Structure 1
């Protein structure tokens, strides 16, 4: 006869094994209520059936050069498919705030260089999106969203595909009201290389933001120096994630929760779409530029979101180093409170950050 203690041990072990299995299962797919919609469409189809034009004449000239170099290769079907998913983390405030995962955080001074994924690591790059997906991509604006969609012009074709086909769950919004619905694009051709701070005749220029339009009409040679069709195509994975709309004074709880919902849903989506590889996400100030968001808070929430989503590496581009240092201190304080069972849910982290009275800044006018 088995002892009662042996039976209890066997039952406990079985329950624990089932919990682990369920957690592992969730890691390998985007579960139902988090996935609003997904589709895979051939790059050939996007190019031949959903072609587009830029309203900005200089961007259109770049797109024509891309087609001269890559048009036949794109049209012959050899580039594969772009996978598209739209996600939404419902009831994020109740989500368990397990911040014990050891995400490696680092920073670099340059903007995105779109290093390709390899056999061990799937790399993702942020698109600091408008609530309307790629809304200004074809015009004369030139902030991060517009730069990235010129570097990866078939994102514009993907947007056209989504709009024309009106697929349920894949409406062209990265946010509906205050509910984040980030998009993830996998296997996007990287066709144009852009240096936002080119040297021309020994002088350094910036073509970021409003400067792009100025040089387009006054000194297009600066743009010619900065924007080149790539000699060899590689492929990028893109996360389109909108920052909260600008406000004034201190951050309220709803805004902080909205930021967490964006980050956790987007980062968990990237984790699930990375085929069990290590995941590396490249990001930046996220809303702390034209929107005047608080850079330290933006970094804190992205680090915590990466931990909760179990992202292996988080790489910040062109941020302020002392904000990252301060953000790391706050994250470590929250991790300590979690280990002491004083913080359990995302809602409790929101309350903690709300009490710190983070303030909105001002727009950088770009």
Structure 2
């Protein structure tokens, strides 16, 4: 654990005030009662009814929603530059690559905050009720309060709280990451191929809607309350960011920059929100002075872990190697302590490892100044090609 100087915390507070666009707090049961999800896919409705047999009374906890405007990238990866925005890292970024899916397990201790990426669409959680069952929709069905959150946000007239990108006055499109703390996971749906259990083609993507309902039920595990190792309920934290989509040919300098800007903005916002989660900062939801610094004797920085995967590499047709590399680079920039990359299978893991080696080559193993512009140019020269949409 490392301490934070109060002067650094003040810089972080200033960054929060200049980039926090919207913030709301919702009691989960009230949110769902007032905004019950709408299901167009019968199999999703079946899972929802299994996971939430008492309707809104099945929900617990409080969702804390924030939306952020894009952060400017630092000039370099060096510590001195990052400290200007409360970032920086004294230790190397820890990276773990796994061949599995998100398990949303509890943190190891009270001073660790764990986040999970939502592979978002431009319109946050917009397709939760339809037939598609890709990563975004899976996360929503397993955390069904997110469905009600989408419907609630759609009723808010000011701003665009369900938009993960926006166009500013200059005409430039910028990221507007959405972070949600404290959403309850109420089900787990297995999507792997298993002929014995009635899903020979799996349940991912377009297969879910056409699967036999009994196979869907068999694939579903329902949680009452998830408890940590101390017997306390715990909840998931979500970072919703949209990747670039449907590119052709080689990744360009501008696309590479866009990926880093988007991931960095979401990751840095998560680092700042982790300070709120661990009470290093205090959030007031009905006050213009929305984020304050409590008078604590000692300020300990939480450990921040981000779980991610093949973001933008399914329906959007992205290249796994470069997208992995750029996510590692963004986490490095944002001062994240650990990235857990869920590669799903051996083929994907081999592609992720290529991205990891490039990250090591261009950033982690380099001594001296590493300018962002130089890094982007060097990645562009690697000539990574776009893939093809998987149709999901």
Residue 347 of structure 1 corresponds to: 373
**Distance change in 2, residues 1:68/1:295 (3 Å):** same
Cα offset, 1:70, TM superposition: 6.3
Bigger-Rg structure (1/2): 1
**Quick one: which of 17, 40, 52 aligns to 2:37?**
52
Structure 1 residues 330 and 238, CA gap change in structure 2 (3 angstroms): same
Residue 189 of structure 2 aligns with which residue?
A: 194
Equivalent position to 1:141, from 111, 132, 148: 132
Tell me the CA shift for residue 90 of structure 1: 3.9
Residues 1:348 and 1:128: Cα distance change in structure 2 (over 3 Å): same
Is contact 1:131-1:174 (8 Å) kept? Answer: yes
Q: 5+ residue gaps in structure 2? A: 80-88, 168-172, 227-233, 276-300
Q: Which 5+ residue runs of structure 1 have no aligned equivalent? A: 1-18
- Tell me whether 1:41 sits opposite 2:26 in the alignment: yes
Distance 1:338 1:180, change over 3 A: farther
Is 2:354 the partner of 1:326?
A: yes
Going from structure 1 to structure 2, the CA distance change for 1:339 and 1:267 (only over 3 Å counts) comes to same
The verdict on how the C-alpha distance between 1:200 and 1:221 changes in structure 2, with shifts beyond 3 A counting, is farther
In structure 1, the residue matched to 2:100 is: 110
TM-score, normalising length from structure 2?
0.79
Equivalent residues in 2 for 1:152-171, closer than 5 Å: 152-168=143-159, 170-171=160-161
Q: How far apart in 1 are the matches of 2:350 and 2:187?
A: 32
TM-score by length of 1: 0.85
Greater share of helix residues, 1 or 2?
1
Q: Equivalents in 2 of 1:199, 1:26: separation in Å? A: 52
Asked whether the 8 Å contact 1:29–1:273 carries over to 2, the reply is: no
| Contact 1:253 1:350 (8 Å CA) reproduced | yes
Asked whether the equivalents of residues 27 and 271 of structure 1 are also in contact (C-alpha less than 8 Å), the reply is no
TM-superposed deviation, 1:361: 1.2
Deviations 1:210-233 (A, max 9, x none): 111221xxx222211112322334
Please give the secondary structure, in 1, of the residue aligned with 2:154: helix
Alignment of 1:62-73 (within 5 A): 62-69=47-54, 71-73=56-58
CA deviations on 1:113-135 (whole Å, 9 max, x unpaired) are: 11123413111111101111111
> Is the Cα contact below 8 Å between 2:180 and 2:238 reproduced in 1?
yes
* 1:299 and 2:290 are equivalent in the alignment: no
